[in-house]
A and B are shown apart, each in its own frame.
Chain A
Amino acid sequence: MIERLHSVQLLHGYLPRQELQQLAISMARPLSEVMGVASFYHLFRLDPPPPHRCVVCRGTACFVRGAERLEAALRQRGVAFETTSCMGACGQAPVLVVDGALAMGQPEALPWA
């Protein structure tokens, strides 16, 4: 089932409910079981990804150097973001990844700020 969920996510960028329902029907599994698996793994997205993907590091170094303030600034600007633990770029803390590129955490420097 996990493999099938992966293919759906690869195709759509997330797991649309409609597709989960189709998957349950084709595998003859209960809806709640499919949803149970899909919601358990952080790798699966249940909602469409935002137009830009922003991931803020919450690792110790970034935390100490103001990741919380960075998150607050993003929230204030209405930017949807995810969080992760240490990205291995502690020297530049606080860091975030915007559309796959590492950025240093000056909220003013964000493309849409």
Chain B
Amino acid sequence: MTTLQLQINGRAVSAAGDATVLEAIRSAGLQVPTLCHLDGLTPVGACRLCLVVIEGHPKLEPACVTAVADGMVVHTHTPELDTYRRMAVELFFAEGNHVCAVCVANGACELQAVAVEVGMDHSRFPYQYPRRQVDASHPLFSLDHHRCILCTRCVRVCDEIEAVHVWDVGYRGSSCSIIAGLDQPWGEVAACTNCGKCVDVCPTGALFRKEDGSGEKQPHPERAHQLVEARTEHHWHNQ
């Protein structure tokens, strides 16, 4: 495997030829906020939080789906990027109904953590207060659409790792939502194996175990990567 040289925030970094810019950033000990990206799942570039400046590129690039190139010069934090990232997080909050104080994921929510990371203290966009549904038809888990940020992690983990593809993205625009089966109640979809992987990787409190109350959700976003590692490298994490 070839090794490429690039520069990130003025620092010389080497990366494997097939690495993404995000991987290069992380291996250099630096970081950019991410939400849709999850190690172990195919990156989709949906949330736009990992946007970076690459010199010579006419537009900002999402680091998670951009391949490294030799001699690339990357900036992860500029005033412009900081503004865009904060705006992106503000839009997430304005688009759904996120009431952290009563949320199952309070304290363990990646959206909340990213809001802190980008220094968001209020939203400059008016809250939409959309009328959405809660699907509590599954015997073990529930999906509160009010808290869904459409990152599609659940779609990908269920498709790529559990291989049953219960979820997909339905409709469009402001009606866009995660759907189970033929947009049925989750509990009616026979393909679901009740494995809980979608609940484990959901970055917000949208998917949760029924027994979890406010602040009691314990997500396990690392499971996706662990399972891929176990399958491809025969390396098991035994807790």
Residues of A within 8 A of B (CB): 17, 20-21, 30-36, 39-40
Q: Which 6 A-B pairs have the closest CB atoms?
A: A30-B165, A32-B168, A36-B168, A31-B181, A39-B170, A35-B182
Residues of B within 8 Å of A, CB-based: how many? 17
> What is the CA–CA distance of A36 and B155 in the complex, to the nearest angstrom?
11
Q: Per DSSP, are chain A's interface residues mostly helix, strand or loop, or mixed?
A: helix
Pair A33/B165 contact, Cβ less than 8 Å: yes
Pair B182/A20 contact, Cβ less than 8 Å: yes
Pair A36/B169 contact, Cβ less than 8 Å: yes
Q: Which residues of B contact A21 (CB under 8 A)?
A: 182
User: What are 22 A-B residue pairs whose CB atoms fall within 8 Å in the complex?
Assistant: A30-B159, A30-B165, A30-B166, A30-B168, A31-B181, A31-B189, A32-B182, A32-B183, A32-B189, A33-B165, A33-B168, A34-B182, A35-B170, A35-B179, A35-B183, A36-B169, A36-B170, A36-B179, A39-B170, A39-B172, A39-B179, A40-B171
> What is the CA–CA distance of A33 and B189 in the complex, to the nearest angstrom?
13
**Other A-B pairs beyond A30-B191, A33-B168, 17, CB < 8 Å:** A21-B182, A30-B164, A30-B168, A31-B191, A32-B165, A32-B179, A32-B181, A32-B182, A32-B183, A33-B165, A35-B168, A35-B170, A35-B179, A39-B171, A40-B170, A40-B171, A40-B172
Pair A17/B191 contact, Cβ less than 8 Å: no
Q: Which of chain B's residues 144-162 have a Cβ closer than 8 Å to chain A?
A: 159
Point out which of B169, B172, B182 has the most chain A C-beta atoms below 10 A from its C-beta. Answer: B182
Nearest Cβ on chain A to B196's Cβ, whole angstroms: 18
Pair A35/B181 contact, Cβ less than 8 Å: yes
Q: Taking the complex as formed, is B141 at the interface, i.e. its CB lies under 8 A from any CB of chain A?
A: no
Cross-chain contact of A31 among B169, B172, B182 (Cβ < 8 A)? B182
> What is the CA–CA distance of A34 and B170 in the complex, to the nearest angstrom?
9
Q: Taking the complex as formed, is B180 at the interface, i.e. its CB lies under 8 A from any CB of chain A?
A: yes
> What is the CA–CA distance of A75 and B132 in the complex, to the nearest angstrom?
23
Query: What mask results when residues 178 to 194 of chain B are scored 1 for a CB within 8 Å of chain A, else 0?
Result: 01111100000101000
Q: Which residue of B lies closest to A42 (CB)?
A: B172
Q: Which residue of A lies closest to B178 (CB)?
A: A32
Nearest Cβ on chain B to A33's Cβ, whole angstroms: 5
> What is the CA–CA distance of A30 and B160 in the complex, to the nearest angstrom?
12
Pair A32/B180 contact, Cβ less than 8 Å: yes
Nearest Cβ on chain B to A42's Cβ, whole angstroms: 8
